[in-house]
Amino acid sequence: MKKKIAILGSTGTIGQNLINIIKKDKKNFDIIVLSAHSNYKLLLKQSKIFNVKNIIITDKKKYLLLKKKKINGLNIFNNFKCFNKIFKIKIDYTMSAISGLDGLEPTLDIIKYSKTIAIANKESIICAWNLLKSKLDLYNTKFIPIDSEHFSIWFALEQKTSLKVEKIYLTASGGPFLSYPQNKFKTITPKRALKHPTWNMGNKISIDSATMMNKVFELIEAKKIFNIDFKKIDILIHRKSYIHAIVKFTNGMIKLIAHDTDMKIPIFNSIYLDKKILKTSNLDIHKLNNLELKEVDYDKFPINKILTIIPDKTSLFETVLVTANDFLVDLFLKKKIKFNEIHKYLFDILNLNEFMTYKKKKPKTLMDILILSKKVRLKTIDIINKN
């Protein structure tokens, strides 16, 4: 029987990786719906390859353009309120790979219709894990994290309890500026910052990797997903990106999870779950013999100090962090602020009394997050305009 699946964000890096994986095994998959924001040409191409009957394109102009084409047998939607029309029974698997807070609402909504959901949207997990967990439990939906580090931890724990974990280490490549002189950070251009040494990623996540904010986000994710105290999670620099996570257990045992720098590996395993063989490179002994693990230089990458002000329990403060950072990264990419100003403005925003109060407020609904996110963007513009 074919596995029924949905891919939200099918034209992005994660979505395309999944498409390429199952393209070689089409006979075993029935894609119920694909979605994209504006890349309608690739979306149409994907729908033709798999004979998909439902697509979602959220850009209004591209949606209207597609509707004019009047493609027989293809249902075209402009938003995610169509799920109740598309899904009559629970599907086997959903990949949620829409980036940013735009991916939160559809992720929350599609849990109801999914037996298993793989989430590659870190913003959703950071800002609304309590809302996601509530829905996962309510609809008995299995959750698989897709970030290589979190998938590695999930794999190391063998999907069991994390109560016997003594310490978890997430590894970071250090980005393109690990050995770059700190006094030259103010001259860093977007083009230079986008050149990641080991991973091929989108623009936003590449800049987050350069500032090391991506690792801050991943540590917050790990705390929420695995219900582990911040003091039990740490970051280690590992330039080769071969080891993705290290888990030390209270019985003295240590697990190191390694794989090539290819997101295809966690994605493949999330959908096949050990039922199919993935051909990969042989064990790289040279990399294992030269791990060169190092602690983070907090003076050079001060953005990591944000971890000291993140509350232990899920709060709306995480929405302030995610929104402000996303907005500042966008401004840097547009050359409106300097690279070394990203963390400076971010700390200015996070330390405002009006936002510090959100540390004690838990998101109760999606609207709580969206309203606050809009407020943060407006305040960020105001602060930058004053400087």
Q: Which residues are bridge partners to 260 per DSSP? A: none
| DSSP-derived 3-state class of residue 267 | helix
Task: Supply the pTM of this predicted model.
Answer: 0.90
Other Cβ atoms within 10 Å of 81 Cβ, number: 12
- From the list 265, 220, 223, the residue with the least C-alpha distance to 241 is 265
Asked whether residue 195 carries a pLDDT value surpassing 70, the answer given is yes
Nearest alpha carbon to residue 169 among 265, 243, 262: 243
pLDDT at 334: 95
109-133 in b/e form (b: 16+ CB < 10 A) is: bbbebbbbbbbbbbbbbbbbbebbb
Please provide the average confidence, as pLDDT, over all residues in the chain: 92
The band of 332, judged by pLDDT with boundaries at 50, 70 and 90, is very high
- Which H or E run contains 357? none
Sequence-separated (6 or more) residues with CB below 8 Å from residue 281 = 260
Which pLDDT score, from 0 to 100, does residue 163 have?
A: 56
pLDDT in tens, 228-251: 999 999 999 999 899 999 999 988
pLDDT score, position 157? 87
Least confident of 29-33, 156-160, 174-178, 183-187: 156-160
Whether residue 218 contacts residue 150, with contact meaning beta carbons closer than 8 Å, is answered with yes
In the structure, what pLDDT confidence band is assigned to residue 141 with cuts at 50, 70 and 90? very high
The model's pLDDT over 274-285, given as tens digits with 9 standing for 90+, comes to 778 888 889 899
Of residues 95 and 180, the one with the higher pLDDT is 95
Calculate mean pLDDT across residues 50-72: 92
What average pLDDT does the segment 94-122 reach?
A: 95
| Residues across the chain | 387
- pLDDT one-digit tens code per residue, 268-325: 999 998 778 888 889 899 888 988 999 999 999 999 999 999 999 899 999 999 999 9
Question: What's the pLDDT score for residue 275?
Answer: 74
pLDDT on residue 159: 56
pLDDT of residue 58: 96
Percent of the chain with pLDDT over 90: 78
CB 31 within 8 Å of CB 94: no
What span, in angstroms and rounded, lies between the C-alpha atoms of 186 and 184? 5
pLDDT at 258 over 90: yes
Read off φ and ψ for residue 64, nearest 5 degrees. -65, -35
Residue 204: C-alpha distances to residues 10, 52, 329 (Å) = 17, 29, 7
The pLDDT score that the predictor gives to residue 158 is: 73
Given a cut of 90, whether residue 261 has pLDDT beyond it is: no
Residue 218 scores a pLDDT above 90: yes
Q: What is the DSSP letter of 365?
A: S
Helix H, strand E, coil C: the string for 110-179 is: HHHHECEEEECCHHHHHHHHHHHHHHHHHCCCEEEECCHHHHHHHHHCCCCCCCCEEEEEEEECCHHHCC
Which range among 157-166, 196-205, 367-376 has the greatest average pLDDT?
367-376
Cα–Cα distance measured from residue 99 to residue 344, given in angstroms and rounded to the nearest whole number: 24
The DSSP letter of residue 91 is B
Q: What is the mean pLDDT of residues 200-221?
A: 90
Residue ranges and CATH numbers for the domains of the chain are 3-146 (3.40.50.720), 148-261+283-308 (no CATH), 309-387 (1.10.1740.10)
Q: What is the pLDDT at residue 114?
A: 98
Distance CA 312, CA 211 (A): 23
Whether the pLDDT of residue 84 is over 80: the answer is: yes
Determine the pLDDT at residue 223.
Answer: 94
Residue 160 scores a pLDDT above 70: no
CA proximity to 123, closest of 220, 56, 35? 220
CB-CB contact of 291 with 256 (8 Å): no
